[in-house]
């Protein structure tokens, strides 16, 4: 990669000017970074985690070239809240994105009510001051950023985030030698594909599937699990196409490639559950020149760490507002996490608040409504044959004790599991006297986290919406202000942490405003911020 010289004399962002020293940017501190994201998958079904049921040659090869992580976690066991954590480096419970889902424009324009049974609109939460989509910082440092095809962040995406966000994003649109960050989201292994591909040809015999003890060993269960394995084979083929493209373009060796799942698996008791099956994810990172190839790493990583880690790998200091910590790179954190924290709140039209903390050995789960079953009747999931099978067998009394636990109409207020001796979390140890100190300690850790991170789950969603949507409408940013100084145009926003964007009248892509614009250049400009309607577009002609 050619050397880049990025010189920013004066940066105008959020209405204030800040001098930035001249910085020499090189290939060493601006590596290409690629994310390969598998939707709805747990580590259990991947060869690098010990499962030999099906071969996934491209993912296996990536693991051999990289580092496999044994304790990677999503803070929420469902996609949109999890993705909000990934893109901001923040807990969804702090952002206000903890409910699944808040922003649903495909169910109507923002403000419309997407659920017939709930009197709440589609909305973008007003996130805390200074929170941005982290790819904005990459673009400001010269990165070409692409994403596809998902923009499901539980808030309206910002134009500052991506150079290209589409169904077929690629690194080929960048300038020669420009570093890039590309995200590829693979939906072929999504929960919905269990029933949508249920009649497709299976790529593995159901007889070869290993059924976990919390599921009954039936033909329906085995078939759905075989569908998932088949989908993983399709995923592997799609990932192979990306890796082949990187190698073809001479980019594979020196690029940093992340492979991970966006939360736990697609099945009941996986997705939407705070058990390991819902929060633990597969993760492999291939570093430049295959550093530490074939090794394993047992550090505890949460999705809130991904944004600061990528920034650190790119030589950019993560903003202090981020709750996650850089795990690698120039700004790697000195201390490693002792715990991961997890939440569940509303799933589509059903509320069920739970919180959890996981230490190296133990998991503590707290339920705020014990009169609801863990097996919530989420209409989306009820389409799955396995879910229908579980309902039928439970009603008929044909599930054993372990299989019936998740299906019971009520649940305990507290759950404590020894993950070392009980990896499937089937033996609740809350009443075990010799673990009382552990129970008390994890209660305290969770309580402190709830306060320290300002867990918005303590506030009813209707109250949050009333605060964020005064008069029932999303607030709009004020128009930009403009100043003519020495033949250049300076732009200002009244909102201190808004991002200012501009483009020439010939361009379609919005550029992040970092320095004054020559007076003789016709342009358009606007301000944007998560949780607000962008300002009216300012048009300036010659």
Can you give 47-97 as a three-state secondary structure string? Answer: HHHCCCCCCCHHHHHHHHHCEEECCEECCCCCHHHHHHHHHHCCCHHHHCC
Classify residue 192: in a domain, yes or no.
yes
End of a domain among 288, 319, 336?
A: 336
Residues 96 and 191 in one domain: yes
How many domains would you assign to the chain? 3
Same domain, 187 and 241: yes
pLDDT at residue number 168 = 85
Asked if 267 and 295 sit in the same domain, the reply is yes
**What pLDDT is attached to residue 110?**
64
Residues 166 and 64 grouped into a single domain:
yes
From first to last of the 542 residues of the chain, give the pLDDT tens digit.
Answer: 333 323 222 232 233 333 333 344 455 679 999 999 999 999 999 999 999 999 999 999 999 999 999 999 999 999 999 999 999 999 999 999 999 999 987 766 666 888 888 999 999 999 999 999 999 999 999 999 999 989 999 999 999 999 999 988 889 999 999 999 999 999 999 999 999 999 999 999 999 999 999 999 999 999 999 999 999 999 999 999 999 999 999 999 999 999 999 999 999 999 999 999 999 999 999 999 999 999 999 999 999 999 999 999 999 999 999 999 999 999 999 999 999 999 999 999 999 999 999 999 999 999 999 999 999 999 999 999 999 999 999 999 999 999 999 999 999 999 999 999 999 999 999 999 999 999 999 999 999 999 999 999 999 999 999 999 998 899 999 999 999 988 899 999 999 999 999 999 889 999 999 999 999 999 999 999 999 999 999 999 86
Task: Count CA atoms closer than 13 A to 21's CA, side-chain side.
Answer: 2
What's the burial of 422, exposed, middle or buried (CB within 10 Å: 0-12/13-18/19+)? Answer: middle
Question: Counting Cβ atoms within 10 Å, is residue 5 exposed (0-12), middle (13-18) or buried (19+)?
Answer: exposed
**189 included as an active-site residue:** no
Contact 271, 264 (CB under 8 A): yes
Do 141 and 215 belong to one domain? yes
Cα–Cα distance for residue pair 6/532, rounded to 1 Å: 31
Structure token digits, residue 103 = 């922003």
Instruction: For residues 12 and 46, state if they share a domain.
Output: no
The position carrying tokens 């903890």 is 98
Asked if residue 489 and residue 457 are part of one domain, the reply reads no
Helices 57-65 and 219-248: crossing angle in degrees, nearest 10, is 60
From 38, 67, 79, 439, the catalytic residue: 79
Q: What does the pLDDT read at residue 116?
A: 84
pLDDT value at residue 20: 31
Residues 357, 327 within the same domain: no
Give the span between the Cα atoms of 218 and 445, in whole angstroms. Answer: 40
Tell me, yes or no, whether 511 and 418 share the same domain.
Answer: no
Give the Cα separation of 462 and 468 in Å (integer).
Answer: 10
- Pairing mode, strands 67-69 and 280-281: unpaired
Backbone angles phi, psi at 472, to 5 degrees: 80, 10
Alpha-carbon gap, residue 129 to 59, rounded angstroms: 39
Tokens for 476?
Answer: 């709009």
- In a domain, residue 64? The reply is yes
Spatial neighbors of 403 by CB under 8 A, at least 6 apart, are: 213, 214, 215, 216, 390, 393
Using CA atoms, how far apart are residues 414 and 27, in angstroms rounded to an integer? Answer: 50
Domain housing 243: 38-336
Q: CA 252 to CA 369: how far, in whole Å?
A: 49
One domain, residues 375 and 522: no
Closest to 381 (Cα-Cα) out of 107, 96, 40: 40
Beta bridge partners of 346: 351
Torsion sign, CA atoms 251, 252, 255, 261: positive
Give the tokens for residue 35: 């994310």
Q: What is the pLDDT of residue 13?
A: 29
In CATH, what number is assigned to the domain containing residue 488?
A: 2.60.40.10
Domain membership flag for residue 510: yes
Q: Which of 524, 512, 494 is nearest to 132 (CA)?
A: 512
**Cα 490 from Cα 513, distance rounded (Å):** 10
Domain contains 469: no
Q: What pLDDT is recorded for position 206?
A: 98
User: Do 323 and 436 share a domain, yes or no?
Assistant: no
Last-in-domain residue among 319, 336, 353: 336
Instruction: Return the HEC string of 304-339.
Output: HHHHHHHHHHCCCCCCCCCCCCCCCCCCCCCCCCCC
**Domain end marker among 336, 354, 373:** 336
Assess whether 103 and 244 both reside in one domain. Answer: yes
Order of all β-strands in the sheet with 340-347: 340-347, 350-358, 362-367, 414-418
Element of type H or E holding 523: strand 523-528
Q: Which pLDDT value is given to residue 4?
A: 34
Question: Can you tell me the distance from the alpha carbon of 127 to that of 133, in angstroms, rounded to the nearest whole number?
Answer: 11
Facing residues of 13 across strands?
A: 16
Contact 124, 156 (CB under 8 A): yes
Residues 47 and 269 sit within 8 Å (Cβ to Cβ)? no
CATH code of residue 395? 3.30.1120.10
* Alpha carbon distance 256, 320 (integer Å): 24
In a domain, 467, yes or no: no
pLDDT of residue 354: 98
């Amino acid at each position: 990669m050619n050397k880049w010289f990025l010189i920013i004399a004066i940066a105008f962002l959020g209405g204030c000017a800040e001098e930035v020293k001249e910085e020499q940017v090189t290939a060493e501190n601006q590596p290409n970074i690629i994310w390969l994201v598998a939707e709805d998958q747990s580590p259990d079904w991947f060869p690098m985690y010990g499962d030999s049921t099906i071969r996934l040659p491209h993912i296996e090869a990536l693991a051999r070239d990289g580092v496999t992580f044994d304790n990677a976690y999503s803070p929420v066991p469902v996609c949109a809240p999890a993705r909000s954590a990934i893109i901001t480096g923040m807990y969804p419970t702090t952002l206000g994105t903890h409910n699944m889902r808040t922003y649903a424009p495909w169910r109507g324009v923002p403000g419309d009510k997407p659920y017939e049974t709930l009197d709440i609109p589609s909305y973008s939460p007003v996130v805390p001051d200074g929170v941005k989509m982290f790819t904005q910082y990459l673009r400001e440092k010269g990165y070409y950023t692409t994403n596809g095809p998902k923009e499901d962040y539980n808030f309206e995406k910002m134009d500052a985030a991506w150079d290209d966000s589409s169904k077929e994003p690629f690194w080929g649109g960048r300038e020669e030698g420009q570093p890039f960050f590309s995200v590829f989201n693979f939906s072929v292994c999504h929960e919905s594909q269990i029933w949508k591909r249920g009649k497709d040809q299976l790529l593995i015999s159901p007889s070869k599937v290993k059924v976990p003890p919390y599921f009954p060993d039936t033909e329906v269960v085995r078939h759905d699990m075989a569908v998932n394995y088949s989908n993983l084979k399709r995923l592997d083929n799609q990932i192979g196409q990306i890796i082949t493209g990187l190698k073809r373009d001479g980019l594979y060796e020196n690029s940093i490639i992340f492979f991970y799942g966006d939360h736990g698996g697609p099945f009941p008791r996986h997705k939407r559950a705070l058990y390991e099956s819902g929060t633990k994810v597969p993760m492999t990172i291939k570093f430049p020149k295959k550093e530490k190839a074939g090794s394993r790493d047992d550090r505890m990583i949460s999705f809130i760490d991904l944004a600061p880690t990528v920034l650190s790998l790119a030589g950019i200091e993560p903003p202090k507002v981020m709750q996650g910590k850089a795990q690698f790179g120039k700004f790697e954190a000195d201390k490693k996490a002792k715990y991961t924290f997890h939440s569940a709140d509303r799933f589509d039209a059903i509320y069920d608040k739970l919180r959890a903390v996981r230490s190296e050995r133990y998991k503590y789960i707290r339920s705020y409504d014990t009169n609801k079953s863990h097996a919530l009747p989420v209409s989306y999931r009820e389409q799955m044959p396995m879910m229908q099978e579980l309902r039928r067998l439970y009603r008929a009394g044909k599930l054993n004790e372990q299989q019936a636990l998740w299906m019971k109409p009520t649940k305990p207020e507290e759950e404590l599991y020894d993950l070392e001796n009980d990896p499937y979390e089937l033996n609740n140890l809350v009443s075990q006297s010799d673990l009382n100190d552990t129970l008390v300690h994890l209660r305290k850790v969770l309580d402190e986290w709830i306060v320290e991170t300002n867990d918005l789950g303590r506030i009813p969603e209707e109250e949050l919406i009333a605060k964020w949507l005064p008069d029932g409408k999303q607030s709009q940013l004020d128009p930009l202000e403009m100043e003519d100084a020495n033949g250049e145009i300076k732009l200002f926003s009244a909102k201190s942490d808004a991002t200012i964007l501009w483009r020439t009248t010939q361009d379609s892509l919005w550029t992040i405003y970092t320095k004054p614009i020559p007076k003789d250049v016709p342009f358009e400009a606007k301000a944007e911020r998560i949780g607000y309607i962008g300002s009216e577009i300012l048009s300036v002609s010659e």
